[in-house]
């Protein structure tokens, strides 16, 4: 699509106030000096006064401020950062995970395998802003969320959002929103009242509203997490899920519950350090796949007559992701070729004997895994071997890795085959276009629905589901024949 066609498509979305595009791009209105979400209820500006931007940071660089009426930062994030696998998208995953705050631009570039100069050049060309501006915009959005959802004092909001000083925070809020933090708090709560969890804020426990793109198969997500919950580590039911997570500032705990509307979740986070709140929110959003473009996914998959009834039965299906790629790897290896119940038992024993209240790290599994793991010696050797590779650096997993590099790194390890690599690409990277054609349940479901049940035939047919083959896999797992049993964990 050329630039003019892209502009016309986006302008039509703006003119029709189409909320499906909120978060996917921003409309900068130069006659007023503001930027808006596509669904802004204001009078549609003339085309000559509008420039469309990929990120809020790009709008900030152009000297625009956020619209107080539509609050363009109060929307789900862009689905592009998972859909695309290029350098800009992978950088955005890491920016949202707080890498710039922790490691600086040089650290971000190093994680991505490029020089900081080249990275800045690419991000400026692709997204309209460099890494420092992108991180600044993300801090401002985190601050807006905290002001809207908590009763934290303004100074605490500033440092929790990652600002180095109260003055820097006030200057950024003034530049981005043309308001003081107190005024922004009032604007963000317009029509919502006070947040429900304010009394706990001082103890490091915050409750935040997380918006998702509708439709959202909330029940399916909670069911998956509950069915796969590791005893002693996690617990969940049809409307909630809770577990500890590891954050840069120390151990934390999260509880995610169904929100008041079908496209919202409530996340309560207990933090060792308030500055980790942005990272916690980013990881919850990734684990629950909240930024997926559900409308586009459902429309694309429903165009196949075989999948259409499955999509109609479960609109807004989501990838249940992971909070840590290394943990996801060990959970998958332990759960291979056994039932979910057996995997939960084995993982519960691992946590009880090696975890000390959390999932054990690679170093602990490398040192003591053989004392706890049960099963064939070849599987134990593979699990311990992977742990050793992680410890000595021969294997590295990162959400900023390209899909091909991620799969290749896994396939180079003994005991890891294509199914494991594909499944982990879905769970750890949130990759939207992976179909594990070696999965027995997927092939049984495909055959029962009249699709090719062999690997080659199914792979060929699934090409029409691209770039959403991971979501097709979820529908096929859900549609498994009664006698099929999944060994995923």
Antiparallel, parallel or unpaired: β 34-36 and 65-66: parallel
322 sits in the region (left: phi over 0; alpha: psi -120 to 50; else beta) called beta
- The active-site residue out of 18, 276, 439, 459 is 439
Q: How far apart are CA 350 and CA 300, in angstroms?
A: 41
**Sheet of 235-236, strand order:** 205-211, 264-270, 250-258, 240-247, 235-236
* 171 has catalytic annotation: no
* 22 has catalytic annotation: no
Q: How far apart are CA 439 and CA 488, in angstroms?
A: 10
- Tokens of residue 323, six digits: 């909070």
User: Taking each helix axis from N to C terminus, what angle separates 99-112 and 116-127, rounded to the nearest 10 degrees?
Assistant: 100
- The active-site residue out of 36, 40, 67, 70 is 36
> Distances in Å between the alpha carbon of 455 and those of 2, 26, 281, 461, 462?
37, 42, 38, 10, 10
Query: Would you please indicate which residues are annotated as catalytic (active-site) residues?
Result: 36, 439
């Amino acid at each position: 699509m050329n630039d003019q066609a892209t502009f016309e498509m986006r302008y039509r979305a703006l003119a029709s106030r189409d909320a499906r595009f909120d978060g996917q791009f921003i409309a900068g209105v130069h006659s007023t000096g503001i930027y808006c979400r596509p669904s802004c209820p204001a009078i549609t500006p003339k085309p000559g006064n509008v420039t469309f931007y990929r990120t809020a940071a790009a709008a900030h660089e152009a000297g625009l401020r956020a619209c107080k009426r539509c609050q363009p930062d109060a929307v789900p994030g862009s689905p592009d950062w998972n859909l695309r696998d290029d350098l800009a998208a992978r950088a955005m995953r890491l920016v949202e995970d707080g890498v710039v705050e922790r490691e600086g631009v040089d650290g971000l570039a190093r994680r991505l395998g490029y020089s900081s100069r080249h990275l800045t050049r690419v991000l400026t060309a692709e997204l309209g802003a460099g890494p420092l501006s992108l991180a600044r915009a993300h801090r401002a959005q985190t601050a807006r969320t905290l002001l809207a959802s908590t009763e934290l004092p303004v100074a605490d909001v500033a440092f929790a959002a990652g600002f180095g000083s109260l003055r820097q925070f006030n200057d950024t809020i003034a530049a981005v929103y043309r308001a003081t933090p107190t005024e922004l708090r009032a604007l963000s709560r317009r029509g919502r009242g006070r947040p429900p969890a304010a009394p706990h804020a001082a103890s490091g426990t915050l409750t935040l509203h997380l918006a998702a793109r509708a439709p959202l198969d909330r029940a399916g997500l909670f069911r998956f997490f509950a069915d796969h919950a590791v005893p002693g580590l996690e617990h969940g039911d049809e409307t909630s899920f809770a577990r500890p997570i590891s954050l840069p500032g120390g151990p934390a705990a999260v509880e995610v519950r169904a929100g008041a509307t079908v496209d919202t979740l409530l996340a309560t986070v207990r933090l060792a350090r308030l500055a980790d709140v942005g990272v916690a929110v980013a990881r919850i959003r990734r684990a629950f796949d909240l930024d997926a473009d559900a409308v586009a996914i459902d429309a694309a998959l429903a165009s196949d007559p075989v999948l259409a009834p499955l999509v109609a039965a479960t609109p807004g299906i989501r990838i249940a992701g992971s909070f840590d790629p290394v943990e996801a790897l060990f959970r998958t290896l332990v759960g291979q070729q056994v039932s979910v119940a057996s995997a939960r038992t084995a993982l519960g024993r691992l946590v009880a004997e090696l975890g000390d209240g959390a999932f054990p790290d690679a170093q602990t599994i490398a040192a003591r895994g053989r004392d706890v793991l049960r099963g064939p010696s070849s599987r134990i050797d593979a699990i311990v071997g992977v742990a050793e590779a992680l410890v000595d650096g021969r294997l590295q997993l990162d959400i900023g890795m390209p899909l091909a590099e991620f799969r290749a790194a896994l396939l180079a390890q003994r005991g890891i085959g294509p199914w494991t690599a594909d499944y982990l690409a879905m769970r750890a990277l949130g990759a939207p276009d992976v179909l594990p054609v070696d999965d027995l349940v997927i092939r049984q479901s495909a055959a029962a629905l009249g699709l090719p049940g062999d690997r080659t035939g199914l792979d060929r047919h699934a090409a029409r589901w691209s770039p959403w083959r991971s979501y097709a896999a979820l529908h096929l797992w859900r549609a498994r024949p009664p006698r099929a049993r999944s060994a995923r964990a």
